[in-house]
Amino acid sequence: MAAAPFKALLTMKPHHILLLALCAAGLAATLQEPVHSQDRTAARPQPGRGAVIGDMLGTMQHGFYQCALPGDASGEAFVELPGESFRIGQGSSYVSEAGSGVYLMHGTNLIFTRGPKKDQRFRRMGANTLQVLKDDDTLGRMICSRLGGVD
């Protein structure tokens, strides 16, 4: 009597067997308990100071960036800081009065990684504007803006 189901199976067409197998696999998958994977969050490297996770690397617009502090209503609108100004060039490079170096643009954060401005950090506020970041990742007062028509 037990051989009867197998005999019926041998007389079935191949596409019916395939359809039954797929239905059985789908049914088995839905009836299983959910698989809980291992939590690997703790094994990942944790971000350091000012790190941005998951953002793309990029570059800034090439050109001369004039840095200044905001002025006040009784005097100048801004106070230029010539020693802080710099020029962004090709290959993530920059040049300032003190020398040249390299920067890294990660998400909206710009970090000078080599040269006289090493470890100075900025937040990109627009296509042509950077605002300095303090050690606690809050925005500082100095703003650097790209000037058009300046070589």
pLDDT in tens, 87-108: 999 999 999 999 999 999 999 9
DSSP string, the chain: -THHHHHHHHTS-HHHHHHHHHHHHHHHHHHSPPP-----GGGSPPP-TT--SSPPEE-PPSEEEEEEEE--TTS-SEEE-GGG-EEE-STTEEEETTEEEEEEEETTEEEEEESTTTT-EEEEEETTEEEEE-TTS-EEEEEEEEETT--
Q: What are the tens digits of pLDDT across the range 106-129?
A: 999 999 999 999 999 999 998 899
pTM of the model: 0.62
Q: Give the span between the Cα atoms of 38 and 62, in whole angstroms.
A: 45
Structural domains of the chain sorted by starting position, each given as residue range(s) with its CATH number in brackets: 57-147 (2.40.128)
